[in-house]
Amino acid sequence: MRDFRSAVKRRKLRFKRGIISDEFDGPFYCRRLPSVFGFIEIFWRGDNVNCSVISIRLPGAPPDAGLDITDESGVAIPSSLEILEKEIKGSFEGSFLHSPSINLLDLSRCHEFQRRVLVGTRSIPRGMTVSYGELAFALGFPGAARAMGTALARNPFPVVFPCHRVIRSSGDVGLFGGGSFMKEALLRREGVIFDGPMKVAANCRLKLDSRLS
């Protein structure tokens, strides 16, 4: 029993640290997309018939520890993954006006609460932001602003789930996996107006008076 508990504890610790090689069957591949901020890394597995994305890493974000990457030389890149790459790159450039598709994402790393939070961010219109508290209320968890922040801080698919559109109630952009400057830049590319350094203008802060589905 003690060995079993120790194994569970180690597994939870590896999961908390972002070590995902124990969570999926490999091999794992990495696509690196150039952007004005640096390289965006997309970790994926599978083939042209059955491809899934297991993580997206922003420039400057900590790496997925312990993930053994296989050289993808000679590996056919799934067309569906190429489409997602174009959508993500377009989102960083501000040219793609819709949220990238979630069809390839493997959400098995995310518990049910986090899934609800991540999906909820896709209801925030482009060019607008919402506070952590407002998002919590809209999802049916009033007063759970801190829990929102925790769930979004562990977002394994940034931009696809636009956690950068969630800000502090004061209007400050707050923290972001790729850094606050990147968060502000992404919001500006989407048309969000700022009335001070790192501070979103009041007319770009959405007030949610109804629940999100």
pLDDT at 68: 75
Q: What Cα–Cα distance (Å) separates residue 204 from each residue in 52, 100, 130?
A: 34, 22, 8
What are the phi and psi torsion angles at 11 (to 5°)? Answer: -65, -45
| Domain residue ranges of the chain, discontinuous segments joined by + | 2-93, 111-204
Pick the CATH number of 111-204 from 3.40.1350.10, 3.40.50.300, 1.10.10.10, 2.60.40.10: 1.10.10.10
pLDDT at 5: 46
**Can 51 be counted among the known catalytic residues?**
no
CB neighbours of residue 197 within 10 Å: 9
From the list 30, 51, 110, 163, the catalytic residue is 163
Among 9-18, 87-96, 108-117, 203-212, which is the least confidently predicted range? Answer: 9-18
Taking Cα atoms as reference points, which of 77, 62, 63, 84 lies closest to residue 160? 84
User: 92: Cβ–Cβ under 8 A, 6 or more apart, which residues?
Assistant: 35, 36, 37, 40, 159, 186, 189
pLDDT, tens digit, for every residue of 19-69?
A: 344 456 778 999 999 998 999 999 999 988 889 999 999 998 887 666 678
